[in-house]
Structure 1
């Protein structure tokens, strides 16, 4: 069965000019490709009335840009694309440009796509918004070299984003609504990043944060900060003893894979 994202869909694109975007305060950093896309939500209250009035979607996107530029001090809105509940996709920073919404050190790995839902008010994405998010993903694959991954903001970063309803959809493999059949199963776990995580010196990166988040999910007391230092090394040593692996304090391929195996109960 073909991947639904490989079937061309004519995207209903809202250009920056059409939504009245402010000009960026400088030049974007360029991207030639990414691992994929991370999905976000607003994190605040979204007025449910946007479902009935697209003008309110435009106003919300403009307010987000203002917050990012005037509140955060960013050069522009942080997202690559924004999907609203009318299956319209707003151009944020767009393809080939570094986003700012994924977190420090994480932006070059994935584009950032916002769904216009929040932590209160409108929290459940409708089918049109899910289609819009996938239209944006397809667009970023075609125009921006985005890879196959579709993840939530919280994958690799300590946050509640993109909220439980949207994240549950991501975890199901981000299927197109009404697409028929089952989506391709997601990867059983993130693939080994190709470098062994060890200390000293302190290693930094999204792969470190991904492993730390998984260990915390398993119940280990560990900071999810993307810094592989003494604490991470000690957790790795104890985990290796538990699993009967060589106790090195280094997250090699065997330790990485074991971190996602179901614990024996």
Structure 2
């Protein structure tokens, strides 16, 4: 991390309100033209950052206590300290929305320098990680998420939507809805290990037995059990006597022995039938 502190900028400690935690970080841009000169001159970046702070302190409408952002990131990969750690952002003026997220601004704008460099994206990630280490949540959003604005501009917002990855690092893909993560596959295996005496099952059938064949077998067993419950219900409905005969009791006992997990369901059916009889 290439950090430029407030002290190095010649600034006193921030007078912004204290805040120990947020939901995460929101990414911003300047929203005004930014000179391409910043690409070749780091001193121009420092001057730009100081000018932003001066304009904020001069804004009597918003009444800023400091530069609005916690950090800025320049095209050369430097993270420039603003309000810093543990200070509420002023990026949404004087609104309560400032409490939700810390703010990092990339020194790009609406024209001129509009596309962040890879070092700038690295610096923004440095700021995100630093703030996470000091109370920020996991959310990374653009300023436009929850606020009516074009900020942080098209290029930066597209990066945020990709998960704000470091340059050269491919984000971990999100599994499709019809696919299982390895963790889900492990959970499913544990379920079947508890019911089926078989140890060769592996994720997506990569074992000595096809996992999906095992699932189909389980589905067939479940279907048969449902049909058995329906048949038992029909037998109970067919009973006309107020008390079951010995043969009927024996038949029901045999069914329960074959499907012990259905005992509660049989009891419910019998209870419903008896309640109907009493009501009649």
TM normalised by structure 1 equals: 0.62
Aligned to 2:171: 182
Aligned to 2:51: 63
Q: CA contact under 8 A between 1:23 and 1:76: conserved in structure 2?
A: no
Assess, with a 3 A threshold, how the Cα gap between structure 1 residues 155 and 185 changes in structure 2: closer, same or farther. Answer: farther
Aligned to 1:220: none
Tell me, what secondary structure is at the counterpart of 2:25? Answer: strand
Aligned to 1:96: 86
Structure 2 unmatched runs, 5+: 178-280
Q: Distance in 2 between matches of 1:160 and 1:146?
A: 24
Q: CA contact under 8 A between 1:153 and 1:159: conserved in structure 2?
A: yes
Q: CA contact under 8 A between 1:39 and 1:112: conserved in structure 2?
A: yes
Aligned to 1:80: 70
Assess, with a 3 A threshold, how the Cα gap between structure 1 residues 131 and 120 changes in structure 2: closer, same or farther. Answer: same
Q: Distance in 1 between matches of 2:6 and 2:143?
A: 24
Give the 5 Å matches for 1:110-149.
110-143=101-134, 145-149=135-139
Q: Distance in 1 between matches of 2:66 and 2:3?
A: 19
Q: Distance in 1 between matches of 2:108 and 2:71?
A: 14
Aligned to 1:172: 162
- The partner residue of 1:108 within 80, 99, 105 is 99
Bigger CA radius of gyration: 2
The structure carrying a bigger helix percent of its residues is 2
- The partner residue of 1:154 within 144, 153, 176 is 144
Question: What is the count of residue pairs matched by the alignment?
Answer: 173
Deviation of the 1:21 alpha carbon? 2.9
Root mean square deviation, CA, Å? 1.8
Q: Distance in 2 between matches of 1:35 and 1:183?
A: 22
Assess, with a 3 A threshold, how the Cα gap between structure 1 residues 97 and 49 changes in structure 2: closer, same or farther. Answer: same
Tell me, what secondary structure is at the counterpart of 1:106? Answer: helix
Deviation of the 1:73 alpha carbon? 2.9
TM normalised by structure 2 equals: 0.59
Assess, with a 3 A threshold, how the Cα gap between structure 1 residues 23 and 96 changes in structure 2: closer, same or farther. Answer: closer
Deviation of the 1:117 alpha carbon? 0.2
Aligned to 1:32: 20
- The partner residue of 1:43 within 6, 31, 38 is 31
Q: Distance in 2 between matches of 1:132 and 1:22?
A: 23
Q: Distance in 2 between matches of 1:40 and 1:67?
A: 17
